[in-house]
């Protein structure tokens, strides 16, 4: 049966790679991001000369009032919905002033409020239809409060907790709620970061996300090698952890 998915943050990086992967797997995909020209490029490459399988909607996730209209329009164009994946995210550039409330607000608006808005829309629909998959792309950075980029780490920790709450709420409704915790990934957002241990590319991340969706996982580290690494890191007492040179 043909499946249909909305990917929020689909104009580059993991979102673009995942949109292409899902389309190859036979999905119809709704692509959401701010940059219409990039969405049109990606949709054109997915659709080629065949019947449309990719549909676009330009939307800024900080516009929470406009999210429902965007969501409803895409669901109508897709003729239903089976999965909603939130990949949109921002992090401060290297060298940014850390103690900056405006920067912190922008991170929370995209990484937390935008995610909650769209995931709530998907949850509401899937609860009624008794089926569906919700995916929130977080980060291993959300597992501990490292000294570097505290607002970004806190935003991902908030997303992880929100996803767990949705999972518990929807556990008896036939809805899969999947939290993805990627390690360092080569995307435009991380282009100015010099040191990224065990970094993978966006296509590899998309593959890991797709496989986690297919097996019905609740939480997935991408790649899987981060699972034991983060288990160790989470077990380190705070009094020791704060002395470790982990930015």
**CA–CA separation, 198 vs 161, rounded Å?**
25
Q: Which pLDDT score, from 0 to 100, does residue 149 have?
A: 86
Residue 106 has pLDDT above 90, yes or no: yes
Q: Averaging pLDDT over each range in 168-172, 193-197, 238-242, which range is the top one?
A: 168-172
Please give the model's pTM, rounded to 2 decimal places.
Answer: 0.93
Q: Which pLDDT score, from 0 to 100, does residue 141 have?
A: 93
Residue 98 has pLDDT above 90, yes or no: no
Mean pLDDT of 190-201: 74
Domain 4-241 belongs in CATH node 3.30.110.30: no
Q: What is the pLDDT of residues 35-77, one digit of tens each?
A: 999 999 999 999 986 778 999 999 999 999 999 999 999 999 9
Mean pLDDT of 231-243: 93
Mean pLDDT of 154-170: 98
User: For 193, left (φ over 0), alpha (ψ -120 to 50), or beta?
Assistant: beta
Mean pLDDT of 111-131: 98
Q: In Å, what is the CA distance from 35 to each residue of 7, 9, 23, 39, 246?
A: 14, 10, 20, 6, 34
Question: Where does the pLDDT of residue 191 fall: very low under 50, low under 70, confident under 90, or very high at 90 and above?
Answer: low
Looking only at the bridges linking them, the beta strands covering 28-33 and 132-137 are: unpaired
Q: Domain-by-domain residue ranges, the chain?
A: 4-241
Average pLDDT, the chain: 93
Q: Identify the CA nearest to 151 among candidates 193, 191, 105.
A: 105
């Amino acid at each position: 049966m043909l499946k249909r998915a909305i990917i929020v943050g689909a104009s580059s990086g993991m979102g673009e790679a995942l949109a292409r992967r899902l389309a190859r797997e036979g999905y119809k995909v709704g692509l959401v991001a701010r940059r219409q020209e990039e969405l049109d490029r990606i949709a054109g490459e997915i659709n080629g000369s065949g019947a449309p399988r990719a549909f676009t909607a330009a939307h800024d996730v900080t516009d929470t009032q406009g999210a429902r209209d965007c969501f409803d329009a895409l669901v109508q164009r897709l003729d239903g919905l089976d999965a909603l994946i939130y990949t949109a995210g921002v992090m401060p550039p290297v060298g940014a002033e850390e103690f900056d409330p405006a920067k912190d607000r922008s991170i929370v608006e995209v990484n937390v409020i935008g995610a909650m808005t769209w995931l709530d829309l998907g949850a509401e629909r899937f609860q009624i239809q008794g089926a569906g998959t919700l995916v929130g792309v977080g980060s291993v950075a959300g597992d501990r409060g490292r000294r570097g980029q505290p607002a970004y780490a806190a935003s991902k920790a908030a997303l992880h907790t929100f996803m767990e709450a949705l999972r518990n709420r929807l556990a008896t409704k036939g809805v899969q709620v999947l939290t993805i915790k990627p390690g360092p990934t080569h995307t435009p957002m991380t282009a100015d970061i010099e040191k990224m241990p065990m970094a993978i590319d966006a296509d590899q991340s998309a593959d890991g996300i797709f496989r986690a969706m297919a097996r019905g996982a609740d939480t997935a580290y991408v790649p899987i090698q981060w699972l034991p690494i983060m288990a160790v890191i989470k077990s380190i007492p705070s009094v020791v952890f704060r002395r470790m040179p982990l930015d």
